[in-house]
Amino acid sequence: MIEFSPWPRDLAQRYRQAGYWIDQPLTHILDAQMAAGPEAEALVCGSRRLSYADLDRQSRNLAAYLAEQGLGHGDTALVQLPNVAEFFAVFFALLRIGVVPVNALFSHRRLELAAYAQQIAPRVVIASRAHELFRDDAFAVELRAGGVEHVLLLGEDDPALSLARRLEQPGELPSGAGPTPADQVAFFQLSGGSTGTPKLIPRTHNDYDYSIRASVEICGVTSATRFLCALPAAHNFTLSSPGTLGVFHAGGTVVMAPSPEPLGCFPLIAAERVTMAPLVPPAVALWLRAVEEDPSRRAQLDSLESMLVGGASFAEATARRVPERLGCRLQQVFGMAEGLVNYTRPNEPAEVIFTTQGRPISPDDEVRILDEDGRPVPDGTPGALATRGPYTFRGYYRSPEHNAKAFDSEGFYHSGDVVVRVDGNLRVVGRIKDQINRGGEKIAAEEIENLLLRHPDITHAALVATPDAHLGEKSCAFLVLRDGLEKLSPPALRRHLLELGVAEYKLPDRFRFLPELPLTAVGKIDKRRLRDSLAAATA
C-alpha cells in the first residue's frame, strides 16, 4: 500500500455515517455505466468516438497486461498524456489493478517529471511521443536506468513500447487483481506548490469519489451533459469539479479539445452540442473577445448551458459579461487539488454568482478564516483560509517538515489563500503563500529562485507576482549578480532555466537587476517592497 496521512478515526466514522464515504473504488464510476448503458457515448476525441464499453475494454486490456507484468498494489506509475481519450483508459486501467499514478501535466518537462519519479519510484511510465522529452529514446533510457521497468508510449509504432497496442490487445485480468481498498490512496494529485520541490497529494477513492458525486449534484451534471475538456485533463478542476469523472459518473459525454483557444473550441462546441465547459479566467477573456470581435460566433455557443470558472481570481466585471455575451449560466469555482472545493449554486442571486467564489461542497467542510495570530476573524474581514473535511487531504506525500507547517494541530490545512466570508460565501481576496498564479497555472517562487541561483553569476533571487491585464498575474524575477555584473540578458536567463528542464509556464516574464534585495525587519526578503516597486514603476 502507498502510505498517506489518514483521517482520525472519529472523523472517518462521521464521514461514513453521513454517507460521504461509500467504500467504493473510483473504478465503480465505469462499472456503473457498464451496467446502465455501455453503448452510450463516453468520449469524443478528434474523429474518434468511444462508448463506455470501449473505454472499459481498453482499460481492462491495459490493466491485464500490466498485471501480467507483475504490477499491482504498492506500485506507482508516472503518466504524462495530452488531452486525449487514452488519458482516461490509462487512468482507469491503473486504478483497476491498484497501481497509483501521478498524472503530470503535459506542459511539465524533465525537472518536474524527474522530481515526481524521484518521489514515487514508478515501475511504469506512460507518456506520449508528441512530448519533446519522449521524441527520442534518451529520456526513456534514463528512466529505465533509474529503475523504471516499463515505458509505454502514445504514438509509438514499436509493438514493445506501443500504448495503443496494450489498450487494444485483448487481455483478461488475473483473478486476484483489483483496485486498492476505497479508504486507501487511489492516485496522487499535483500541488500548485509554494516550495522548492513539487509536492504530491495522496487522494483516496473515498474522498475523491465523494467530491465528484457531490459536485455532480451541485452542478447539475446528467447523462445529457456534453462536457468540454479543454483545460489540462490531469488538473483537479478538469478532473473532478465536477470534471470529466463527474460526467462519467452521470453517464454523460466528454469532448476533448487540445486547448481552450476559442477558434478551436467554438466549432467543436457547435458540432458536438457541448453543454458545459470549465475554463480559467484568461480563457474566458479570450472567448469574450472572440464573440465581441465577431458577434456571429455566438451562434456556435448555442448549446452551451453553463460555464464553470475557477483556478484564479475572476474579475466581477468579466463575470457579468459571461451570461450577457456568451449566453450561458456562470458558476464560479474556488478549489484546490488538496481538497476543498467551493461553488456558487445555480439558483443563487446574481450578486452571489458574480461577486463570490461560492461555498463549500459539503456541510462537513469545516472552514476557518484566521487572523495573523490564528484567531477567527468576523465575517466580512479578510483572513487566512484553513480547512478540513471529508475530501481534504491530511498530508503531502513524504513531506513531514512541510506538513508541520501546512497543517495545524487540529488537522486543518492552511491553503495560503486570503478570503472573506460574506453571507456564507467565500471571496478570494489575496494570498499569503509564496506562489504566482499565472492565469490558473501555479508557480512556486522558491522552486524558480533555487533554479536561478544555480546560474554562476546570480547571488540572490526573488520571484514575485506582478499584475497582468490578461493573465491576472505574471512573474518577475529580481536578481542580484556577482560583483562587477549589472545585467544578464533575459533570453540567456530563460535558456538557463530551460536547460535545467523546467516547464515553460514557470519562466519569469520579466527580470529586474538590483545591487541587493530589500530585507524585512526579521531579515527575510521583503517581497512586498519588490512588488510595490514594480507597481510604482508601471504607475
**List of residues contacting ligand J2J (CB under 6 A):** 192, 236-237, 240-241, 310-314, 332-337, 341, 357, 415, 417, 428, 431, 437, 442
In one-letter notation, the amino acid at residue 277 is: A
- Smallest separation, CB 221 to ligand J2J (Å): 14
- Smallest separation, CB 249 to ligand J2J (Å): 15
DSSP reduced 3-state for 521: coil
- Smallest separation, CB 265 to ligand J2J (Å): 19
Cβ distance to ligand J2J smaller for residue 178 or 192:
192
Sheet holding 425-431, edge to edge: 366-370, 383-388, 413-422, 425-431
Cβ distance to ligand J2J smaller for residue 333 or 352:
333
Cβ distance to ligand J2J smaller for residue 154 or 283:
283
Cβ distance to ligand J2J smaller for residue 58 or 415:
415
As given in the structure block, the three cell numbers for residue 232 are 489540462
Cβ distance to ligand J2J smaller for residue 72 or 232:
232
DSSP reduced 3-state for 179: coil
Cβ distance to ligand J2J smaller for residue 98 or 383:
383
Return all residues near 189 (Cβ < 8 A) that are at least 6 apart. 200, 201, 203, 236, 337, 338
- Smallest separation, CB 471 to ligand J2J (Å): 13
**CA–CA separation, 119 and 102 (whole Å):** 10
Contact 331, 425 (CB under 8 A): no
Return all residues near 274 (Cβ < 8 A) that are at least 6 apart. 226, 227, 228, 255, 268, 303, 304
As given in the structure block, the three cell numbers for residue 374 are 490564528
Cβ distance to ligand J2J smaller for residue 163 or 333:
333
Cβ distance to ligand J2J smaller for residue 442 or 455:
442
**Residue whose C-alpha cell is 451562434:** 299
- Smallest separation, CB 190 to ligand J2J (Å): 7
- Smallest separation, CB 338 to ligand J2J (Å): 7
Q: Output the CA–CA distances (angstroms, integers) from residue 343 to 174, 241, 483, in the order listed.
A: 42, 9, 52
Q: Which of 493, 470, 398, 9 is nearest to 202 (CA)?
A: 398
Cβ distance to ligand J2J smaller for residue 359 or 455:
359
Q: Is 164 exposed, middle or buried (0-12, 13-18, 19+ CB in 10 A)?
A: middle
Phi, psi of 415 (to 5 degrees): -80, -15
- In 337-434, beta strands by DSSP E: 339-343, 359-360, 366-370, 383-388, 413-422, 425-431
- Smallest separation, CB 146 to ligand J2J (Å): 27
Q: In sequence order, which ranges of 305-372 are alpha helices (DSSP H)? A: 316-321, 350-355
- Smallest separation, CB 267 to ligand J2J (Å): 26
Q: What is the DSSP letter of 377?
A: P
Cβ distance to ligand J2J smaller for residue 52 or 248:
248
- Smallest separation, CB 438 to ligand J2J (Å): 11
- Smallest separation, CB 309 to ligand J2J (Å): 7
